[in-house]
Structure 1
Amino acid sequence: MSVNTNAEQVNRSRGLTTAEVNERIARQQTNQIHDVNVKTTWQIISSNTFTFFNLIFLVLAMLLVLVQSYKDLTFLPVIILNTVISIVQEIRSKRILNKLTVLNAEESLVERDGQLTEIKTTDLVLDDVVVFETGDQIPADAEVISGTLQVNEALLTGEADEITKNVDDSLMSGSFVVTGKAMARLTQVGDDSYISKLTAKAKSVGHGEESAMLKSLNRLIKIVGIILIPLGLALFAQSYFLNANSLKTSIVTMEAAVIGMIPEGLYLLTTVALALSATRLAKRQVLLHSLKSIETLARVSVLCVDKTGTITENEMAVAKVIKAQQNPQTEQELTTLLTNFSHSMASDNSTMQALQTYFKQPAQATASQTLPFGSAWKFSSATFNGVSYVLGAPEMVLRTTFKDYVDEFKQYTEQGYRVLVIGDYQAGELTEAKLVAPVLPLGFVLIENPIRKSAPATFSYFARQGVSVKVISGDNPQTVASVAQTAQIADADRYVDASTLAPVDYSAALQKYTVFGRVTPEQKQLFVTALQQQGETVAMTGDGVNDILAMKQADCSIAMASGNDATMHAAQMVLLDSDFSRMPKIVAEGRQVVNNIERSASLFLVKNIFSLTMAVLTLLFAFNYPLTPAHITLISLFTIGVPSFLLALEPNEAPISGNFLTNILRRATPGGLTDMIAVAAIVICGSLFGLSTTDIGTATVLIMSAIGFLVLYRMSRPLNQFRRHIMLGCIVGIIVTTLCFGNMFGIKTISMVALGFAVVLFLTADSILTHVTFWTNHWFKKLSLRFDK
């Protein structure tokens, strides 16, 4: 807590005494920042290990060990690997989050006991009197008590202008001193300072973020979890008490049904596919902090971008030079003057660097005297042959005559340029940063952040994909709109000053306008929230701390490597070369992952739907469940697991449509029901013809494997060489495994009668699958129409 209860007792003309410092330390009013939002490593390990389904798998494993059915423990490696990957991924994210920091200042000059002393910024306390000068970063919120500063708050607010701070003005923690010197009293320290609250929000917003795929899978697993335990207990009770099977048989068959209902390999597939995608993106200079961002970006419907660093380059450049109307010089003479002027100045700021880059010719004269640029006066000067020339902001250079010349350059300001005026100082040599005489304008230099050459093509791509673009910036809305129009962003002429909007206006404004200027960090976050409430999937790009809150709120966040370190750590995705034109490739990568995982998830759910429906039939008709966990593992390995992982590597840039869960259920249900029909037929025929449990189990594995490959074929159409090789390899794999390791998977000899049933069912399987698919699609369409009404 840092409420200043003794503020009125502090002598504003001096610093604190040692006693006063100790008093504040005792009240914990220090500049120490406490991180309470990040989970510990042990919390991460325990939350991923002690899960509901891991508990179920542990119980199942213990039961199998109890009845000495060790060969049926083949499901454990997938569970262990999936848990380890989840833990490693979250620990990695934690380490990235821990690096999120905005304050880089390590020491501050503070007045205590009447003496100036350098101490660590974390040792500062409330009401400390600190000295700030050029280049310093403000470590805590403060109030100026003497002197004047020019500060840059762009890191926090996105506002590019430098702001003058006089006595009694507030200083925001995290801002930088551009020029000047002042003493300030700290008013908010530690967790209560502006930058600490901003950082804390950045770390806390979005806990438990999940992709649409994982949300759908979790929803599915919750449903399975509700029915899993009662269904498993019912199957065991029926087998052991009603059918009088042995304890071992009852446990093994019950576990086969339960394990078959859990899509345990699907999480592993999703994680590995996303990790491989992250590796491919890394080769394209894209760093991922969150794997979910790959999928989310592929689903984005609104893209929010900042102006600088996204639409424009980070560097300033001279666009053109305009000769003033009353200037008697030729354009060549004006160019020579600007060349001499720029080469006489130190390249200690981005504006002068841009001038020196533009005026490349060697200087023909050297200034006898120069006055460097200062934020307080906003101009620089150089003297040649006793005549001083001034270059700077028109309002600061022209002063009282500004209105007389504003019409000459007003149109360029409206077009988004930053205008500098070069003029002849009418009082001879200028020796100090104070203009006491008029300046006759000779020309106007137009400065810009150049539009990225790739910007129009990139935004055109998003327009074709139906993705709306919102430009959200802290700069002047008219300037931002002009830049956005040059980048060919659709409807960029619709702009508004966000400072004029009330929170109740945000939703309507976001539907009406494309460009928003003078936006605060909190407003950016609220804008993103409002878009999400409208049902949009939002991506946010940025390069400053002022973007962090919005980026954390967005469904997907993209940072430029040229921006602030804290922004890069907070973002889910970082463009290492700050090249926004890579976005279409990233979207394509996301589509590949989503489309392929959707297809693979459908394969996994075939097994889950079969296991669920077969378990229900087993209970209804009181027959023995025909499979063991080892059977399930063998079938899944070659008809689901291996092909799913391989197919996930295939390029696929088709647009994403529909709901993930609905899509996979619609595609998986026909295969699962066909499996159920075929296996039920085997069980019924086996009962009628007196087949052994071994015959029924082996026949079931054969027909389910055959139907599995039939489903795989249908989902892989049209076949190409890659898909043919996958199918052929998996067929050969299951045959070789059955012949060489059949006993390990519970596959033994089969009678000719059982084999005959399997062959007949295989010959009719395609027809059964076709009819089931037709009726499944019919009912899914009816349900969809019903829910849409």
Structure 2
Amino acid sequence: MSDITLAGDGSTSSDPVKKASSPSSSSSSNAKPARLDAEGIKKEISQLNSSPDGLSSATAKSLLEKYGPNAIEAKEDSRWKKLLGYFWGPIPWMIEIAALISLARQDWPDFIVITGLLLYNAAVGFWQDNKAASALAALKKGLALKAHAKRDGKLQTIDAAELVPGDVVTVSGGEILPADLLLIDGAYLSVDQAALTGESLPVSKMVGDSGYSGSIARQGSMTGIVTSTGNNTFFGRTAKLVASAGAKSHAEQAVLRIGDFLIILAAILALILVGTQLYKDIVVQGHWAWSEAGDIAQFVLVLLIASVPVAMPAVMSVTMALGALALSKQKAIVSRLSAIEELAGVDVLCSDKTGTLTQNHLTVDSAIPFDPKTTPDEVILGAALACQPESTDAIDQAVLSALKDKKSLDGFKQVSFTPFDPVNKKTLAVVQDASQKQTSYAKGAPQVIATLCGISETSSDDPRSTAYFGKVSELASHGTRALGVARSDDGGKTWDLLGLLALLDPPRPDAKETIAQARALGLSVKMVTGDDVAIGSEISRQLGLGTHLLVADQVFPKDTDNNHIPIDAARAVEAADGFGRVFPENKYQIVKALQERNHIVAMTGDGVNDAPALKQAECGIAVSGATDAARSAAALILTAPGLSTIVNAIEEARAIFERITSYVYYRIAMTICIMFVVVLSYLVFGVRPLTAIMIVVLALLDDIPIMTIAYDNVKIAKKPVRWDMHRIIIFSSLMGLMALAQSFGLVLISMYWMNNAELMHVFALDLSHLQTMLFLQLAAGGHLLLFVVRNRNSVFKPPFPSLPLLLAVIGTQIVAVFICAFGIFVPAISWELIGVVWVYVLVWMVIIDIVKLIYFSVVDKREKQSENLTKAIA
């Protein structure tokens, strides 16, 4: 028995939809397809220019040329084009210009370091982009490799890729359906299409029904005519959605905007520098020589290296990679690094029901006897006797598992058994007990069992009818599948009603708690299921999700543009608790609708049908046991069952996000500081306080150890966090100006010292000393600035830096001190000057920390006033 009816409607489980008839159609209707009658089947065969005997080889060959092979074909950019794309854009341009200038001037250390970072950034991005190709490859594995088709009136085994619309094929239990079919002959076929539609049970097919490419035949055998092949199949359209899905991550957008901000700033400063130099050369000094162009180019090179955060993409990637390692210990494998920061900002979690929120294991929820002398255990025993002992059918296994005493079947011998079929909708078994007495048992659709027992649904005077169908309606209202059970002691002439079994795919034990935890983290959780709304609503109620579930095809009209969701549909999606009768296009549309409402979306799933939505979502999550297609499309793959891992992953992701934003604050602030101190020193004093190699070494000293920020101690946010560029730029600029005051203050003091004869008599100081002192101040002050910006509290309050980060900073500062003391890459300075610089930066750390606390105090006060005003208006 492969399917039963939902209590109260007498119909089988809802089928997914596809456009049958037109093989060239690329879109599908979202209405439930009606079963075609004999006339409809004839019309369909005629439209396909075929017959029940199939096609001739010549016709099949011409159709193959017309429609192409029965295979998934998705147009994607070549790998070379994708690779070159990582060298195109504002930040790559600036890095490339800096590399070209250093090459022209033969500054080999600068050229090697800058080019190495550029190549590393491109390699990381290119590796991530290849995930889409993996998703399509996994989808293709799901297609049948061979097919049994009638060609020239004979049944032949051919490659599935050679099938064309109009081919007549046979499909038997255990085989994958090779294309979209209209079933035209045969008694019965049970098809498992859960991976395509999310339905929790195999679907019973009859003549006139449709079958879908990629689904698996479990029982029976039927003949069908091919209606669609390749990309035009239900399966193929899912693959096309996977190929086209995907959104640029918020981290990528943030890096681009940060780069734009710094580049514009650098361009303005470069114009000021060049203009000032030309004014001095032409107007003040009255002459110009091309040899001086090299000096200007070198100065612009210094500014470019200082302005472009060449290491930012690399540090962010490595930081997220270290975070991915931490997530792997939480049983969550990251397949796309950007998913880490996306997961931190997720505010809507779309969760597939079957196998994700539920156990994907049908169980007997309760037994309801309808005979005063019958106990619930006897109802279950009667249903078990109407099963085949070794059956792999989901319902039979649920019934047999419900037996309290498995040995209770030992006293019976099965004499005969009539399996379930979609016409009779019941199973019959004749069993013999130890006294040789034979008894018949039946189980099946409630309406069929009622008729068998002489109970009429339309009889209002029969108390049995009222009680029985009242209970059936009650179970239906709770979304529970009902199974009727009856017994006959006279060889099937008369039947006695034993009762009903309520069948349910129960929620996972940890699902309710996990959902509560997700909500505590500020997430809205929405159920997405291919089952009927009634079933979804009951599970949703049990899990505390709410019962406002919508029918997906009523939200999205069949002509909905997947890339432009109507505003009314988007608002309905935003307000709903979940969705029933969802098709692959709908899952994709749900994610798109939420994204258009400015939500960051996580989508969980395990089947082929989930792949497009998993790839489109900012964070697609393939749950434990997911198909290869779902795993390849997802950004996060769970290796442990249940959803509790997601909550752990979200908390870990938010911690990683805090670490990344701390680095971004620090990097922007230091970049602003270095650019302005170079320009101001030149404009005010006519000196170049840093050389190009100093800035390159600074970049290495600052950023390589900072990768250990992935292990830093942070305070995890209670709400979703996302990139707020307005706040990032303002706070980073404020910290950058404070760092500039610190650095330029050192230049001022040094220039004053060098122009004061009495001070120079005490200790001689020259421009080379100033450059090294400023180099050390930027190296030490930069890391101390990181300690200031890494949390909103005072630098002297927890959370304190982690041991790996602290050791990395200490080690870096020791290296910086030795570089300055022994004159490696920079002019050497005395230990006394090194000590002076360190006292100077420590004092400034306290000053900057106080400014930070004042800033956040003002910001928090304004936010609280804004929230109170919003509440008052509401």
C-alpha spacing 1:179/1:49, structure 2 compared with 1 (3 Å): same
Is residue 2:314 matched to residue 1:268? yes
How many Å apart are 1:34 and its aligned residue?
A: 1.8
Instruction: Indicate which of 372, 382, 397 corresponds to 1:353.
Output: 397
1:519/1:287 CA distance change after superposition, 3 Å: same
2: CA distance, partners of 1:223 / 1:26: 53
2:541 pairs, out of 465, 485, 508, with 485
Match of 2:244 in 1: 204
Residue from 298, 307, 310 that aligns with 2:353: 307
Q: For residue 730 of structure 1, what is the amino acid of its counterpart?
A: V
Q: Which residue of 2 aligns with 1:448?
A: 504
Q: C-alpha separation between the residues in 1 aligned to 2:625 and 2:681?
A: 62
1:315 aligns to what SS in structure 2?
coil
Q: Is the 8 A contact 2:132 2:633 kept in 1?
A: no
Distance 1:761 1:499, change over 3 A: closer
Other structure's SS at 2:604 match:
strand
Q: Indicate whether 1:675 and 2:739 are aligned.
A: yes
- Separation in 2, partners of 1:26, 1:657: 52
SS at structure 2 position matched to 1:187? strand
Q: Give the residue type in structure 2 aligned to 1:380.
A: T
What is the deviation of 1:573?
1.8
Aligned partner of 1:390 in structure 2 is 442
CA 1:577/1:664 → structure 2, altered by over 3 Å: closer, same or farther?
same
Q: Please give the alpha-carbon distance, in whole angstroms, between the structure 2 residues aligned to 1:531 and 1:254.
A: 45
Provide the residue aligned with 2:786 in structure 1.
712
User: What is the match of residue 609 of structure 1?
Assistant: 672
Instruction: Write the distance in 2 (CA, Å) between the matches of 1:750 and 1:285.
Output: 51
1:575 is aligned to 2:649: no
The answer on whether the counterparts of 1:610 and 1:676 sit within 8 Å (CA) in structure 2 is: yes
- Kindly provide the amino acid, as one letter, of the partner of residue 518 in structure 1: R
1:30 and 1:749 mapped to 2: Cα distance?
Answer: 72
Equivalent position of 2:769 in the other structure: 695
User: Is residue 2:34 matched to residue 1:27?
Assistant: no
**Of residues 219, 242, 255 in structure 2, which corresponds to 1:217?**
255
**Structure 2 counterpart SS, 1:442:** strand
Which residue in 1 is equivalent to 2:226?
A: 186
Query: Identical aligned pairs, as a percentage?
Result: 24
1:115 is displaced (CA, Å) by 0.7
For the structure 1 residues 351 and 117, does the alpha-carbon distance in structure 2 shift closer, same or farther, using more than 3 Å as the test?
A: same
Counterpart selection for 1:195 from 216, 225, 235: 235
* Alpha-carbon offset, residue 471 of structure 1: 1.5
Aligned to 2:139: 100
Amino acid at match of 1:349: D
- Quote the offset at 1:327 in angstroms: 5.7
- Is the counterpart of residue 522 in structure 1 residue 522 in structure 2? no
What is the match of residue 725 of structure 2? 661
Q: Among 648, 652, 662, which residue is 1:589 paired with?
A: 652
Structure 2: stretches of 5+ with no match in the other structure? 1-21, 26-43, 282-287, 432-436, 458-464, 558-565, 756-764
Structure 1 CA distance, aligned partners of 2:359 and 2:91?
Answer: 50
Residue identity in the other structure for 2:248: E
State the secondary structure of the residue aligned to 2:412.
Answer: coil
Q: CA deviation at 1:402?
A: 5.6
Q: 1:640 to 1:778 in 2, by over 3 A?
A: farther
User: Aligned letter for 1:348?
Assistant: T
Q: Is the 8 A contact 1:179 1:374 kept in 2?
A: no
Shift of 1:152: 4.6
Shift of 1:389: 0.6
Deviations 1:742-765 (A, max 9, x none): 677542134899889958964763
Superposed displacement of residue 625, structure 1: 3.6
Counterpart-to-counterpart distance in 2, 1:585 and 1:422:
45
Q: 1:390 Cα deviation (Å)?
A: 0.7
Q: Deviations over 1:471-492 (max 9, x none)?
A: 2222121222111222233xx2
Call closer, same or farther: CA 1:16–1:732 in 2, change over 3 Å: closer
Determine helix, strand or coil for the equivalent of 2:737.
helix
Q: Deviations over 1:655-674 (max 9, x none)?
A: 35464434443443333213
Is 1:88 matched up with 2:119?
no
The answer to whether residue 168 in structure 2 is matched with residue 114 in structure 1 is no
Q: What is aligned with 2:301? A: 255
Cα 1:576–1:409 shift into 2, 3 Å: same
Q: Is the 8 A contact 1:307 1:472 kept in 2?
A: yes
* CA offset digits 1:529-562 (Å, max 9, x no partner): 2222322222222223333333333222222233
* Alignment coverage as a number of residue pairs: 775
Letter in 1 for 2:773: A
**1:271, 1:732 → 2: CA distance?**
22
Shift of 1:496: 3.8
Further displaced range: 595-604 or 735-744: 735-744
- Does 286-295 or 144-153 show the bigger shift? 144-153
Shift in CA distance, 149/626, structure 1 to aligned 2, threshold 3 Å: farther
Which is worse superposed, 90-99 or 554-563?
90-99
Q: 1:9 to 1:594 in 2, by over 3 A?
A: closer
For the residue of structure 1 that corresponds to 2:196, the secondary structure is helix
Partner Cα separation in structure 1 for residue 316 and residue 831 of structure 2: 41
Stretches of structure 1 lacking an aligned partner (at least 5 in a row) = 430-436
User: Any conservation in 1 of the 2:53–2:153 contact (CA below 8 Å)?
Assistant: yes
**Within 2, Cα distance between the matches of 1:169 and 1:102?**
25
Give distance in 2, aligned partners of 1:335 and 1:27.
56
**Pairing 1:378–2:425 present:** yes
> Is the Cα contact below 8 Å between 2:242 and 2:611 reproduced in 1?
yes
Q: Distance in 1 between matches of 2:728 and 2:400?
A: 60
Give the secondary structure class of the aligned counterpart of 2:612: helix
- Partner amino acid, structure 1, of 2:547: D
CA contact (8 A) 1:102 1:545 kept: no
- Whether 2:610 is the aligned partner of 1:542: answer no
Deviations along 1:689-726, one digit per CA (max 9) or x if unpaired, are 45643133122123323432432332353356754774
Whether the 8 Å CA contact 1:297–1:587 is kept in 2: the answer is yes
In 2, Cα distance between equivalents of 1:79 and 1:781: 39
User: Which amino acid in 2 is paired with 1:294?
Assistant: I
2: CA distance, partners of 1:84 / 1:640: 19
Provide the C-alpha distance between the structure 2 equivalents of 1:617 and 1:662, rounded to a whole number of angstroms.
26
Q: Distance in 2 between matches of 1:293 and 1:12?
A: 51
- 213-222 or 108-117, which deviates more: 213-222
2:397 partner amino acid: Q
Query: Which position in structure 1 is the counterpart of 2:214?
Result: 174
> Could you say which residue in structure 2 is the equivalent of 1:433?
none
Distance verdict in 2 for CA 1:470–1:756, change over 3 Å: closer
Task: Quote the offset at 1:247 in angstroms.
Answer: 6.2
Q: Distance in 1 between matches of 2:151 and 2:621?
A: 44
1:78-136 per-position Cα deviation (integer Å, ceiling 9, x unaligned): 33333333333333553344323374311111111111101111011232122233343
CA contact (8 A) 1:373 1:380 kept: yes
Question: What CA deviation, in whole Å up to 9, does each residue of 1:632-672 have, x standing for no partner?
Answer: 23434445541453454546533354644344434433332
CA distance in 1, matches of 2:97, 2:347: 44
Query: Which residue is equivalent to 2:37?
Result: none
Structure 1 residues 553, 501: closer, same or farther in 2, change over 3 A?
same
Shift of 1:782: 11
| Residues 598, 660 of structure 1: 8 Å contact kept | no
TM-score (ref. length: structure 2): 0.79
Q: Is the 8 A contact 1:145 1:185 kept in 2?
A: yes
**1: CA distance between counterparts of 2:842 and 2:141?**
67
Which amino acid in 1 is paired with 2:438? Answer: G
Distance 1:632 1:772, change over 3 A: farther
